[in-house]
Amino acid sequence: MAKVVVGMSGGVDSSVAAHLLIEQGHEVIGLFMKNWDEKDPDGRCPADEDFQDVLSVCDRLQMPCYSIEFIDEYREHVFAEFLREYEAGRTPNPDVLCNREIKFDLFLKKAEEFGAEFLATGHYARVAQSPKGPTLLRGRDPNKDQTYFLTAVPRDRFARVLFPIGDIEKSEVRSIARKIGLSTSEKKDSTGICFIGERKFREFLGKYVHTKPGRIIDLDGHEIGEHNGIAFFTLGQRKGLGLGGEGEPWFVVEKNLQRNELVVVRGEEHPALYAKRLIANQVNWLIEAPSAGDQISCTAKTRYRQNDQACVASIGESGQMTVQFNEPQRAMTPGQYVVLYQGDVCIGGGVIHKIEEPQYVRP
């Protein structure tokens, strides 16, 4: 059996992950990570409350527990990039950044300092080890699979990672937690910004990103309203536009950063919301890296909750990747990630840089 450090978040998933590892006979150490030190609008410090839950679980499981801080590192490597992307008019994914920069880099190194052979987390994912290297697989629970958020982690890191709950469904995780009397058994899943939690997004982002009001226009250039900051909106967004009137709802189809304008259309299925191709950069391969000129038949997601979409990924000379979809895709968004799959295998992904082949061309 191995010495394993478990990343304890204070939630039910990491709690049960630790329990399963102990049952398997491993020497298990709990390690809590604090990456944000500001109180929420209610004056609470969620990180401190989560740590109390961690202490309760570790006491119940009779395992040692420690706490570490990566507050400065999180601000430098994750939050600063998060803000830069919003200021550039894109929509970043801090969960993907946090996994790459913090959980499976700095935190993994900290686990090694404890003499651990493996780092374990409560992610719904699986890893298959082989002489050719690790393979990242979807979690068994299709509604909870989290491989989308792991796509930017360098492949070699997964050789030292365990996902103890990747083979079971969420309902079973909670059932196990109840059965063994864990205090986190009924704790709701965390939501909001990675390690920051639930916030009133515009109010929170407005503290860090300079914004100014601007025009909202339709595809013909007619002004139909005013926005309070282009960074607060993303492609395909409906809520928060403040546009009424008769007819179908309005949706964002373009963010013109230079002119500080939002372009909107009426109707959820308007062709201006759809395109068939994207260009991605910062591509990370979780299989043997293909060569320039290669084409890969696969499926892809351009957002977490999306169903798999058939496509062909083409590898460029510069390392960029073109993804051509069989069917038009709605509201593909620069700054978000496109993640590729072949069956249950997550083969890699990259940051969406540019959208091409729109299904509506202005006259």
Dihedral sign, Cα of residue 75, residue 80, residue 81, residue 82: positive
Instruction: Name the token pair of 307.
Output: 């169903």
**Residue position matching structure tokens 């899943």:** 189
Q: What is the pLDDT of residue 202?
A: 77
Q: What is the pLDDT of residue 118?
A: 98
The secondary structure of 177-218 as a DSSP string is HHHTT-TTTTPPPP-SBTTTB---HHHHHHTTS----EEEE-
Instruction: Name the token pair of 1.
Output: 């059996």
Residue 313 clears pLDDT 80, i.e. is over it: yes
Query: Has 346 been annotated as catalytic?
Result: no
Q: What is the mean pLDDT of residues 323-339?
A: 97
Q: How confident is the model at residue 38 (pLDDT cuts 50, 70, 90)?
A: low
Instruction: Name the token pair of 143.
Output: 């509604």
Q: What is the pLDDT of residue 39?
A: 62
88: amino acid identity, one letter: A
**Residue position matching structure tokens 């950044």:** 97
Q: Tell me which of 47-56, 162-171, 319-328 is least confident.
A: 47-56
Cα–Cα distance, 17 to 28 (Å, whole number): 10
Q: What is the pLDDT of residue 193?
A: 62
Residues 120-167 have pLDDT tens digits of 999 999 999 999 899 999 999 999 999 999 999 999 999 999 999 999
Phi, psi of 166 (to 5 degrees): -65, -20
Q: What is the pLDDT of residue 41?
A: 60
Query: Has 194 been annotated as catalytic?
Result: yes
Which stretches within the chain are classed as H helix? 12-23, 46-61, 71-74, 80-87, 94-98, 107-113, 170-179, 201-206
Residue 1 clears pLDDT 90, i.e. is over it: no
Q: How far apart are the first and last CA of the chain?
A: 67
How many Cα atoms are found within 13 Å in the side-chain-facing hemisphere of 241? Answer: 26
Q: How confident is the model at residue 319 (pLDDT cuts 50, 70, 90)?
A: confident
Phi, psi of 299 (to 5 degrees): -120, 165
85-103 core/surface letters (b: 16 or more CB in 10 A; e: else): bbeebbbbbbbbbbbbbbb
The partner residues of 31 in beta bridges, in order of sequence, read: 7, 66
Is residue 283 within 8 Å of 320, Cβ to Cβ?
A: yes
The partner residues of 4 in beta bridges, in order of sequence, read: 28, 118
Q: How confident is the model at residue 192 (pLDDT cuts 50, 70, 90)?
A: low
Burial of residue 144 (number of CB atoms within 10 Å: 0-12, 13-18, 19+):
buried
Q: What is the pLDDT of residue 211?
A: 87
Q: Which of 194, 298, 311, 346 is catalytic?
A: 194
Q: What is the pLDDT of residue 84?
A: 93
- Please tell me the chain's helix, strand, coil percentages from 3-state DSSP, rounded to the nearest 5: 25, 30, 40
Residues 56-101 have pLDDT tens digits of 999 999 999 999 999 999 999 999 999 999 999 999 999 999 999 9
Is residue 74 within 8 Å of 24, Cβ to Cβ?
A: no
Q: What is the mean pLDDT of residues 270-297?
A: 96
Q: What is the pLDDT of residue 289?
A: 94
User: Where is 266: in which H helix or E strand?
Assistant: strand 261-266
Q: What is the pLDDT of residue 185?
A: 93
Burial of residue 181 (number of CB atoms within 10 Å: 0-12, 13-18, 19+):
exposed
Q: Which of 45, 58, 65, 98 is catalytic?
A: 98
Is residue 278 within 8 Å of 355, Cβ to Cβ?
A: yes
Which whole-number Å values give the CA distances from 227 to 85, 146, 208, 230, in the listed order?
19, 34, 18, 7
